[in-house]
Amino acid sequence: MAMSKRQRAIYLRYAQYALILIVVAAIVVAADWAKLRDSFFKPDLVKEQFPDIIKIALKNTIIYTACAFAFGLVVGLILALMRLSSIGPWRWLATAFIELFRGLPALVVFLALGPGFATAFPDYEIPFGNIGTVTLALGSVGAAYMAETIRAGIQAVPKGQMEAARTLGMSHNRAMISVVVPQAFRIILPPLTNELILLTKDSSLIYILGLALDEYELTKWGREGMNGAANLTPIIVVGFCYLIITVPLSIVVRRMEAKSERAR
């Protein structure tokens, strides 16, 4: 049977729709829905999570992430400027920091700064307890990643911008602060948001420090709930809570990108 190219394309398209439909149907038929609902979405267990999961776990996840991100952003900017410095030792120090904290798993950094620090310097402690430690540990990891992003953003600002600022009599530093860095941040807004989303998820590693109940963040909360109820429902609720944080972030950034695109 001879088919025209166009006909073949149409058949191929419907064949794909059919395939997807068959897979979905097979899953629907094969799944034991009552059992699934009981293990993943038990209504009374869902109800039991609220409101404390918001008031404690979600709130703590946001606090830990915000502290680490703020710290990481400031240190990342400093590291980026050090990497671009004409003074060798600044560049080497920044490179060493970045390679170290980018190369180590975040969990190892938490261990080093939590139990490790306490053992090595028994007379000192990191201020602000667990929040201080998570800020320092997660923030350092974030700073290492963000430093490279910020540096790339600074280098992506056209050279003429620095020249125009210098021509007006601005010093190098003034031109960086007023002209180059603000433009760099517009360029790197999307990758920075990615970093924020990654930090949100990595804040779960704080469990390694040992937490009091009112310090629980989402993952710890979910695991404790799961163990207590011998049911996966708490973890599913936690999953939704993470999405409540991350999906709006993505939307906000898409809006900001569209806006700065218009201003360009």
Partner 1 sequence: MTTLSNNEPIEPSDRTAAAIDVQQLHKYFGNNEVLKGIDFHVAPREVVCVIGPSGSGKSTLLRCVNLLETPTSGKIFVEGIEVTDPDVDVDRLRSRIGMVFQQFNLFPHMSVLRNLTIAQTKVRKRSKDESIEVARRNLEKVGLAEKEDAFPAHLSGGQMQRVAIARALSMDPELMLFDEPTSALDPELVGDVLSVMKDLASDGMTMMVVTHEMGFAREVGDKLVFMDGGVIVESGDPAEVLANPQHDRTQSFLSKVL
Write the binding mask 184 to 213 for partner 1: x where contact by CB under 8 A, - elsewhere. --x---------------------------
* 43: contact with partner 1 by CB under 8 A: no
* 42: contact with partner 1 by CB under 8 A: no
Q: Among residues 160, 212, 230, 258, which is the contact residue for partner 1, using CB under 8 A?
A: 160
58, 102, 108, 112, 114 from 119: Cα distances, Å: 31, 24, 15, 10, 9
For 234, other C-beta atoms within 10 Å of its C-beta total 25
Stretch that binds partner 1, among 102-110, 158-166, 226-234, 242-250 (CB under 8 A): 158-166
Quote the least distance from Cβ 180 to partner 1, whole Å: 10
Stretch that binds partner 1, among 23-31, 92-100, 169-177, 205-213 (CB under 8 A): 169-177
* 166: contact with partner 1 by CB under 8 A: yes
* 167: contact with partner 1 by CB under 8 A: yes
At 30, which amino acid appears? A
Quote the least distance from Cβ 158 to partner 1, whole Å: 8
Retrieve residue 92's tokens: 């080497």
The H-assigned helical ranges of the chain are: 5-30, 33-40, 43-49, 52, 59-83, 88-103, 106-111, 117-120, 129-156, 159-167, 172-175, 181-187, 189-202, 218-229, 233-263
* 258: contact with partner 1 by CB under 8 A: no
**Close Cβ partners of 181 (under 8 Å, ≥ 6 residues apart):** 77, 154
Quote the least distance from Cβ 165 to partner 1, whole Å: 8
Helix (H, G, I), strand (E, B) or coil at 114: helix
* 264: contact with partner 1 by CB under 8 A: yes
| # chain residues binding partner 1, by CB under 8 A | 21
Quote the least distance from Cβ 167 to partner 1, whole Å: 4
Q: Would you say 233 and 42 are in contact if contact means Cβ atoms under 8 Å apart?
A: yes
Retrieve residue 82's tokens: 């050090």
Nearest to 223 by CA among 213, 232, 214: 232
Residues that bind partner 1 (CB under 8 A): 158, 160-161, 163-171, 174, 178-179, 182-183, 186, 262-264
